[in-house]
Amino acid sequence: MLTFIRIFAGLILMQFAASVLSQTYPSHAIRLVVPYPPGGSTDLLARAITQKMPESIGQTIVIENRGGAGGMLGSEFVARAVPDGYTFLLGANATHAILKSMMKHLPYDPVNDFTPLTAAVEVPTALAVHPSFPGNTAKEFVEYAKEHPGKLSFGSSGTGSPHHLTGELLKQVAGIDMVHVPYKGAGPAVQDLIGNQIPAVFTTLSTVLPHMRNGKVKILGVAESRRAQSAPDVPTIGESVPGFAMPQTWLGFLGPAGLPAPIVKRLSSELLKALNSPDTRAKLEAAGMIVMGTTPEEFAAIIKRDIETFRRIITAAGIPPE
């Protein structure tokens, strides 16, 4: 009987503590860690969210860029942070799905060391070629590659990036031989494409859309299974290359493992509110992003699914872990 009373009292205290926590959180500024240098889609999303969230959460959200090691440094920092709701991460499928198979000793567990909050946006990937390339569709690109085995090269933002693995998956599905040329970021790759130093790149759709409109590149298709809202006239690669479709390239928010349930509920609801506000949504969609806004449970399932999907792609490509 005494044991029952102690358990009951403990449950009451836990509920009381959770209620107090939900009423007092947050009491000071919150830190959003971005594991990449400023610039690009992560920077745009981080700024959009940190400008909107304070309106309803009542505290400043401070961006802290901790770039390096392909996103590992910033991700590990948040994985080791105190789970009090004052430090959270803007992660990506690169940091939480791809690196799991690319690294022998990843310094964090992408599933067990984090608390998913929401998968925020999808960032479509495009296959872009120089205007002089003798093909206007993904099918013609594949046919050209088959006619010139091992002579067609494609650039990406780096080895193991979603853009690199998009090219590897196309090689696997279409049965073609291409040479990967890794760059230190999407910007240099696209500049070399415009300068006709490389015939093709896989990169973020929003990066090459302005150049397509100026006639500097041709976009042959998007890598995902559906057309992008920002470029509905651009077909998917799978429309002309049957069986091809990449997983979504997403950006999402996560806290450290052990984040209390009331804080998870508050942070995720505030993030969804900011994402779905008309001005924020318009800003993100204008940059070529697709707002997702999942529940924490849905986001956790996406991470686990993508770890396995990218493991298969990386293994089939024969890319050894570093």
Per-residue pLDDT of the chain (322 residues; tens, 9 = 90+): 544 454 444 444 344 444 445 578 999 999 999 998 887 788 899 999 999 999 999 999 999 999 888 899 999 999 999 999 999 999 999 999 999 999 999 999 999 999 999 999 999 999 999 999 999 999 999 999 999 999 999 999 888 899 999 999 999 999 999 999 999 888 899 999 999 999 999 999 988 999 999 999 999 999 999 999 889 999 999 999 999 999 889 999 999 999 999 999 999 999 999 999 999 999 999 888 999 999 999 999 999 999 999 999 999 999 998 8
Distance CA 182, CA 115 (A): 32
- What sign does the CA torsion over 252, 255, 258, 262 have? negative
Distance CA 230, CA 74 (A): 30
Distance CA 27, CA 88 (A): 16
Task: Give the ranges where the chain is alpha helix by DSSP (H).
Answer: 2-24, 40-52, 54-57, 72-79, 93, 99-102, 138-147, 162-174, 186-194, 205-213, 261-275, 278-286, 296-317
Residue 161 burial class via C-beta count within 10 angstroms: exposed 0-12, middle 13-18, buried 19 and up = buried
CATH class of 125-239: alpha beta
Same fold, 2-122+249-317 and 125-239: yes
CATH code, residues 2-122+249-317: 3.40.190.150
CB 128 within 8 A of CB 166: no
Q: The pTM is what?
A: 0.86
Parse the chain into domains and list their residue ranges. Answer: 2-122+249-317, 125-239
